[in-house]
Each structure stands twice: as C-alpha cells, then as structure tokens.
Amino acid sequence: MSGLCSPRPGGALYDPSVGARVLLVEPNRFVRAGIRAELSRNGAEIVAEASSADEAVAAAAEHRPDVVLVDLEAGTEVCDRLTARLPETPIIVLAEPGDETHVAAAIDSGARGYLLKDAADLDLAAAVERVLSGESVLDPRAAAALIDSRRSGADPKLSRQELKVLRLVAEGLTNPEIGSRLHLSRHTVKEYLSHAMRKLEASNRIEAVRNATELGLIGDAPRPASGLAYNRTGEPARSSDLKVTPLKIDQLRAVRSRHDVDQSR
C-alpha cells in the first residue's frame, strides 16, 4: 500500500512512506488472520484486533487507528459507538453475500465503505486507500440495495441472516438457542432481530414473525396467536428477547381457517 496524503483526526497528514494503521474488528480469529495477512502484504499496519463492540471501542481509544475494518457479524452497533468516539475515523464494513440490505443501517451508523466478501474484485487494500482519500466505497449490489431502500415503499427486504433468525424465532427458540444454532453471539442475534423488527414495523418478535409470515417472507413458519407466546425473562413487550411458542400443525391450520373465514366476510 503506497503512502496516503489524507488528513488524520486532528489535522496532521499521512507520511507518504507510511502505510495505513488499521483496527480490525472480526469475531472469527481465523478470518482475522487472513485479513491481517492480506493487508500486511500491502503495507498496512494492523494496530489492534477486536472480536466485539466493547473490545473495538477500547482498542480505538487506545490506538487511534487511521481506519477501522468491521465484519458485519460484529454488528452495526460497533459503527455507532466508534463514530461517537472517533467521528473522523473512516469505517469499512465487510458483509456476507445476501446481507446487502444492511447497507442503509451501516451507512446511517457512520460507515464509509460496505463490501461483500464474495466480490470477485474485492481489494481491501485499495478500499482502505480510497476511504482514506475521502471516498465512499460500496459494492455495486450494496449500492443498489441502498438506493432501493431510500426510494421504495414496497415490502421490507430482509437479509438472509434476518430471515434465518426469524424462522428460528418462529420455531420457538430463544436468542441464546438461535445463536448456538447459527454460531452467532446472543448480541448479534438480537441485533439481526431488531433490524428485522424495524423493517417489519413490529414492536416485538411475536409481531415480527406474524408480519413476516403474512408477507410470505418466512413461508409456512408457525404463526403466533393470542395466548401462545410468553416472555420468559420478564422484559418489556418491545424486547427482542420475548419467547415465541410454536404452534402445532393442527393449531396452525385452525388459526389460518379462522383467518380465511374472516377475510371472506
């Protein structure tokens, strides 16, 4: 990575002979190793690594990196907190294919780049250089999703992970159980669910499952009905930790039959 001449927080300039100082936020240590190796080959210095939002904020405060590279699995909360702490430090989000719909939330949280990991021309070093020179870097698919989200009033588009989480919610799994099934932290599950609730205009997970089912987004997932859901933790109704009890097939058919009759009247 050749030297860069873009302003640091505080007004100093990059030394043209010095590579960018990067904070890497990625829950998976094997993925971190791969990213670290690629950036190091191109002259960047990985000044710190973090696997969670708390670690990322602490590392950013200590090392004051030039740029932060965040895996979406760590959550957009990282972007919010880092932007609040170091507003001038650019953030690049790395996402899985199918997670393009998170781009609006990431950009709103302060990210300046949004890249998809399966892109044939993915060049992290070049992306770092571009954001440090003041550009925004978006995968074309993410850019299209961002434009659609800004101008479309159509049905909400949930990401692949959001759909997976909602399907498991509909099966009656708690956040820790969903995290274990999908190999995600409880916090990440809660964040995916919160995004889905927002897109579905739902006040809790029960309503989110119902709305998603009625929109045909999660197929034949069990539909929560009055009296068939409970809150295990005693948290407020808006909590994404509410527990959904799945309906048996005969109950589901009865609910749908009543719904069809009501619709025909």
Model pLDDT for residues 39-51, shown as the tens digit of each residue: 999 889 999 999 9
Strands (E), 66-161: 67-71, 91-95, 113-116, 137-138
CA distance 56 to 58: 5
Q: Are 171 and 160 in contact (CB under 8 A)?
A: no
User: Quick check: 8 pLDDT over 60?
Assistant: no
Q: CA-based angle 76:205:218, to the nearest 5?
A: 90
Residue 34 pLDDT: 92
CA distance 241 to 206: 10
Q: How confident is the model at residue 156 (pLDDT cuts 50, 70, 90)?
A: low
Q: Are 51 and 29 in contact (CB under 8 A)?
A: yes
pLDDT (mean) for 14-20:
58
Residue 151 pLDDT: 66
- The distance of Cα 258 from the centroid of its chain, to the nearest Å, equals 37
SS (H, E, C) 164-200: HHHHHHHCCCCHHHHHHHHCCCHHHHHHHHHHHHHHC
CA distance 210 to 221: 9
Q: Token match 């190793």: residue?
A: 33
Residue 92 pLDDT: 96
Q: Is 165 helix (H, G, I), strand (E, B) or coil?
A: helix
Q: Are 199 and 145 in contact (CB under 8 A)?
A: no
Q: Is 13 helix (H, G, I), strand (E, B) or coil?
A: strand
User: Quick check: 244 pLDDT over 70?
Assistant: no
User: Quick check: 58 pLDDT over 90?
Assistant: yes
Residue 221 pLDDT: 46
- Single pTM value for the model: 0.57
Q: Mind listing the pLDDT tens digit for each residue in 93-142?
A: 999 888 877 888 888 888 999 999 888 888 999 999 999 999 999 998 88
pLDDT (mean) for 178-182:
90
